[in-house]
Amino acid sequence: MAMTVGRPGAEPDVMMDINTTPLIDVMLVLLVMLIITIPIQLDSVNLNMPTGNPPPPLVEPEVLRIDIDPTSRVFVNGEFVPGRAELEQRIAQEAAKNPQPEVHIRPDKASKYEVTAMVLATAQRLGMTKLGVVGSEQFIE
Q: What is the tens place of the pLDDT at every residue in 61-111? A: 889 999 999 999 999 999 999 989 999 999 999 999 888 999 999 999 999
Q: What is the pLDDT of residues 18-69, one digit of tens each?
A: 888 888 999 999 999 988 888 777 667 777 888 888 888 787 888 999 999 9
Distance CA(128)–CA(134), nearest Å, equals 16
Total domain count for the chain?
1
In a domain, 117, yes or no: yes
pLDDT of residue 104: 94
Residue 113's CATH number: 3.30.420.270
State the Cα–Cα distance between residues 66 and 81, nearest whole angstrom: 10
**pTM of the model as a whole:** 0.58
HSE-up of 88 (CA within 13 Å, CB side)?
8
Cβ-based neighbour number of residue 116 at 10 Å: 19
Q: How far apart are CA 115 and CA 69, in angstroms?
A: 10
Q: Is residue 16 part of a domain?
A: no
Residue 106 belongs to a domain: yes
Residues 138, 130: Cα–Cα separation, whole Å: 22
Structural domain harbouring 83: 63-139
Cα 86–87–92 angle (5° rounding)? 95
